[in-house]
Amino acid sequence: MKKLILGIVASSLSYSAATQAKNPITEEMFTADPAAIVHQDTVYLYTGHDEDVDNSFYHMNDWLLFTSKDMVNWQAHGPILKVTDFEWADKHAWASHMIERDGKFYFYTSVYHNNDKPGFAIGVAVSDSPYGPFKDARGSALLTNDMTTQTENDWDDIDPAIFIEDNGDAYMFFGNLVPKYVKLKDNMIELDGEIQVIDLPRFTEALWVHKKDDNYYLSYASGFPETIHYAMSKSIHGPWEYKGLLNEIAGNSETNHQSIIEFKGKDYFIYHNSAIQHDSAIGGGGRYRRSVAVDKLEYNDDGTIKRIIMTSEGITEPAQ
Ligand code: FUB
């Protein structure tokens, strides 16, 4: 009964409320798997949405959007896409990634395919605006479980992360247990070539690629419960040199899933933990009741990254 009441409270909450600076960025709903982009003067932060149906799995049905102009104050915009918007998908609105190209916004995401091709798949939706509306860009999955044969599990093709080179070449990184990447065609909705396997120590999932100066960074979740580690390279194709631990186990969450951005000259590490307090309106965090948090990210002079310090305060100094 308690769970039912909590469910009713959560579903009646407004998605348009502005939230205050602290971690997590919202206590009005459970959020996970952050994927942020900077577009013009705004950070668009897309997240998954833990439903905690029966405290048994990552039951997730839609993806949410939060925006900020200073990394301190966040505005919630509600679901931008649902699993059911992909007609070929059954369930599991898992980790996603957004990227802009030529004025179009492409939302790549993990989702479970229907019985035609059972197993996890990656879909791509598109919109003319970062706020949506988004629609399935292909009417079919971009990548299906039968295309990845390195492991037995049917979730080895989750967690897409897109990177576009300065020359326009686009790549999708993804995977669970075995990290992989594949080139995308210029239209961003078709694969262009073979899937390549990457060599990273103790890889679990949640790849994220970013570039600073002439260094490429590949960060990822390792082990289980997960810690976030990273590797560096001078090329998007590697070889990737392992550099070590970036973020510790995120409290009572087994998953940690990071996103790294630079905004108005500062760098940020966005991740999830399960730190919503038990006296919050929606109850406390847990394994399947995660929440997105933001902390500072700092580089050393040689380009390596300092260990992240997770805080309850979050970002307190507005970016300007
Ligand atoms: O949220 C479901 C899954 O848990 C994601 O796809 C993984 O990255 C992990 O966070």
What DSSP assignment string belongs to 43-67? Answer: EEEEEEEE--SSSSS--EEEEEEEE
- Rounded CA gap, 274 and 187, in Å? 37
pLDDT at 21: 52
Ligand 1 within 6 A of CB of 176: no
Residue 15 identity: Y
d(CA 287, CA 25): 18
Q: Rounded to whole angstroms, how far apart are CA atoms 310 and 287?
A: 18
Residue 227 near ligand 1, beta carbon < 6 Å: no
Mutate to test the pocket of ligand 1, among 64, 153, 257 (most ligand atoms within 8 A of CB): 257
Cα 34 to the chain's mean position, in Å? 4
Measure 13 CA to ligand 1 centroid, in angstroms. 24
Q: Left (φ > 0), alpha (ψ -120 to 50) or beta: where does 188 sit?
A: left
Q: What angle do CA 109, 111, 115 make, to 5 degrees?
A: 145
| Å from CA of 95 to ligand 1 middle | 5
Query: Ligand 1 centre from 32 Cα, in Å?
Result: 8
pLDDT of residue 55: 78
116 vs 271: CA distance, rounded Å: 33
- pLDDT for 53 equals 77
Q: Ligand 1, residue 159: give the atom nearest the CA.
A: 6
Residue 167 alpha carbon to ligand 1 centre in Å: 31
Please give the DSSP secondary-structure letter assigned to residue 84: G
**pTM of the complete model:** 0.93
The answer, yes or no, to whether any atom of ligand 1 lies below 6 A from the CB of 26, is: no
Residue 89, pLDDT score: 98
Q: Kindly give the confidence (pLDDT) of every residue in the chain, 320 residues in length, as a single tens digit, with 9 standing for 90 and above.
A: 333 333 333 333 333 344 445 899 999 999 999 999 999 999 999 999 999 877 789 999 999 999 999 999 999 998 999 999 999 999 999 999 999 999 999 999 999 999 999 999 999 999 999 999 999 999 999 999 999 999 999 999 999 999 999 999 999 999 999 999 999 999 999 999 999 999 999 999 999 999 999 999 999 999 999 999 999 999 999 999 999 999 999 988 999 999 999 999 999 999 999 999 999 999 999 999 999 999 999 999 999 999 999 999 999 999 99
**Residue 52 pLDDT:** 82
Q: How far is the CA of 302 from the centre of ligand 1 (A)?
A: 31
Q: Which residue from 209, 212, 120 is spatially nearest to 173, judged by alpha carbons?
A: 209
The reported pLDDT for the residue numbered 98 is: 98
